[in-house]
Amino acid sequence: MRRKPKQLREAPSLFQDGPGPPVVVELGDTRGDGGADVEAAGGQGLLVTSQSATVRGLDELLEDRTPDREVSRMAQRIARRLAIRRRPRDPRAERGAGKLASVPYRYRSDDIDLDRTIEILAERPVPEDTDIVVRERMRSRRAAVLIVDVSGSMRGEKVRIAAATVAALSADLGGGEGGDQLALVAFWSDAALLKPLQTRVAPSKLLDQLLRIPARGLTNVGFGLSVAHSELNRSSARRRTAVLLTDAVHNAGPDPREIARRFGELHVLCETDGEHDAPLAQDMARLGHGRYAPVATHRDVAPALNRLLAG
């Protein structure tokens, strides 16, 4: 039986380092009896009001104490193993993907752009290999935001799945190859921007920060999506992707499906090792023009991400 989400009366807090653009959040209509008799799941059919999130520093959120050593070691072990197993990109594997562009010869393509090459050779009687211009298909720069549900306690298989997801996306995008960008948003009833798109942070530090977020009960999926959408809009990358990791047990704030519609590409990894709401997760992926994948253990993460991010 689907729970009735708690209607918010105050804008949630966004924890981040330094100033950033305002994040506008939607709150369920609080007039009259506060929507207590509304039975639509996730705030469906409710009027909403918009407010700016309260911005607070990360130092107000993260606990000073060191995360549980065994849990931390386990998470780091998963991250290292997954990162090592991912092979570096082979530039030759990118042929056939992306837009066709004229570029200097780099021992890959043999499709010579004669007009551009003749122009260059006319000015250089003793040409070099790189004076030859060829046509290649170039992969577009990507920006991705990982949105992690940290409501409840980050223990057991939940923390293993989070560690695997952070490690996989960091290995794929975090190095900044080709201008790729990765951001990390953690959410519960509030949210934290742990890594903006423009910064470079080691996966080990991101995992440490996730584990230092105090356990919280409510799950405001819509606010996590709002923060991620705002961060993606700061990027000029042609391909902008969001990956939501959650059990989709949404119990605070308006229906997240309305916010999912605003994404050009929103994929959902649904944690199914405990209580979860697969129909809501599937709806968000469909409305966000993305794909849905269930993950029961951390070993499911890498294959699932390969399916979600293919193409």
The verdict on residue 217 lying in a domain is yes
pLDDT single digits (tens) 92-142: 444 445 556 666 766 666 677 777 777 777 777 676 766 777 776 655 678
User: Distances from the Cα of 189 to the Cαs of 7, 86, 151, 218, in angstroms?
Assistant: 11, 34, 8, 5
Is residue 224's pLDDT more than 90?
yes
Q: How far is CA 180 from the centre of its chain?
A: 13
Quick check: 246 and 271 in contact, CB under 8 A?
yes
The verdict on residue 221 lying in a domain is yes
In which residue are the tokens 């469909």 written?
286
Q: How confident is the model at residue 36 (pLDDT cuts 50, 70, 90)?
A: very low
CATH of the domain at 190: 3.40.50.410
Average pLDDT over all residues of the chain: 78
Is residue 174's pLDDT more than 60?
no
Full domain range(s) for residue 162: 43-86+140-309
The verdict on residue 20 lying in a domain is no
Q: How confident is the model at residue 65 (pLDDT cuts 50, 70, 90)?
A: low
pLDDT greater at residue 104 or residue 241: 241
Is residue 177's pLDDT more than 50?
no
The verdict on residue 252 lying in a domain is yes
Work out how many domains the chain is built from and give that number.
1
Is residue 54's pLDDT more than 70?
yes
Q: How confident is the model at residue 232 (pLDDT cuts 50, 70, 90)?
A: very high
Is residue 30's pLDDT more than 50?
no
Is residue 163's pLDDT more than 80?
yes
179, 308, 175, 178: which is closest to 242 by C-alpha? 308
The verdict on residue 123 lying in a domain is no
